[in-house]
Amino acid sequence: MADLLNVQDLRAGYGEAVVLNGVSFSLGEGQTLALLGRNGTGKTTLMDTLAGATRQHGGSITLGGVALHRLPSHQRAAAGIGWVPQERNIFKSLTVHENLTAVARPGPWGPQRVYEMFPRLAERKTNLGTQLSGGEQQMLAMGRALVLNPKLLLLDEPLEGLAPIIVTELLRAIARITREEGLAAIIVEQHPQAILAISHQAVVLDRGSVVHSGAADALAASPALLDRLLGVAR
């Protein structure tokens, strides 16, 4: 299978500070990768670096053969990165529908398809971002990334702080988008079992380096290894 994303010997961080030190991995088209690790190990820094929001000190990132290194964030979106940051960053003064139409790019994903995926958003089309619950904001943030018609979706802790019923709804949508619709994704999660269950690959970071890389189902089936890598057999 052809690689969609190739990360080689990546060094990146904030200003002069280097957080990621020699990170390498690749991801095939249509594959989902669970990005795991204890707190503060560099997961968000890696997502932000793929999206162009940190300082890259060395190494390379290619998406579909295109080098991303010199591209600013908005050009990476055009190159195929659909980034859903931890803070969600929706436009709070715009309506749900305006949030989606403001960034939509040509392709199979448009606002209508987002509403089919997230019926709650369809009901809130004319509500402002400020009027949405945390779960609805997360759905809108994902919808906004989807209407960019990306090649790779980056989801940074999409389930954090949400009620169990919303977590179930979001997990079902994420599984549909990745497993059924075949969109490649990298998903960061603190509680890995649910994400490992829908991922093909797993990468574990520790202190800015990759300490484990392999099949997601093998890691999910190894509580002792999960315990060693993440601290608890979750």
**Smaller CB separation from ligand ATP, 37 or 111:** 37
Q: Does 144 bind ligand ATP (CB under 6 A)?
A: no
In this structure, what token pair is assigned to residue 93? 């003064």
Measured CA distances, 67 to 32, 50, 52, 142, 217 (Å): 21, 11, 12, 25, 31
Footprint of ligand ATP on 20-49 (CB under 6 A): 37, 39-45
Helix, strand, coil percentages, rounded to 5, for the chain: 35, 30, 35
Q: Are 173 and 118 in contact (CB under 8 A)?
A: yes
Q: Are 12 and 19 in contact (CB under 8 A)?
A: yes
Helix (H, G, I), strand (E, B) or coil at 82: strand
Nearest-5° Cα angle at 9, 6 to 10 = 80
Determine which residue in the list 4, 7, 19, 68 makes contact with ligand ATP, applying CB under 6 A.
19
**Smaller CB separation from ligand ATP, 121 or 159:** 159
**Smaller CB separation from ligand ATP, 17 or 197:** 17
Judged by CB under 6 A, how many residues of this single chain contact ligand ATP? 11
**Smaller CB separation from ligand ATP, 184 or 204:** 204
Nearest to 69 by CA among 28, 8, 15, 14: 8
Determine which residue in the list 17, 67, 163, 197 makes contact with ligand ATP, applying CB under 6 A.
17
In whole angstroms, the minimum distance from the beta carbon of 226 to ligand ATP comes to 16
Exposure string of 59-78, with b = 16+ CB inside 10 Å and e = fewer, is bebbbeeeebeebeeeebbe
In whole angstroms, the minimum distance from the beta carbon of 164 to ligand ATP comes to 20
In whole angstroms, the minimum distance from the beta carbon of 18 to ligand ATP comes to 10
Residues lying near ligand ATP in the complex (CB under 6 A) are found at: 14, 17, 19, 37, 39-45
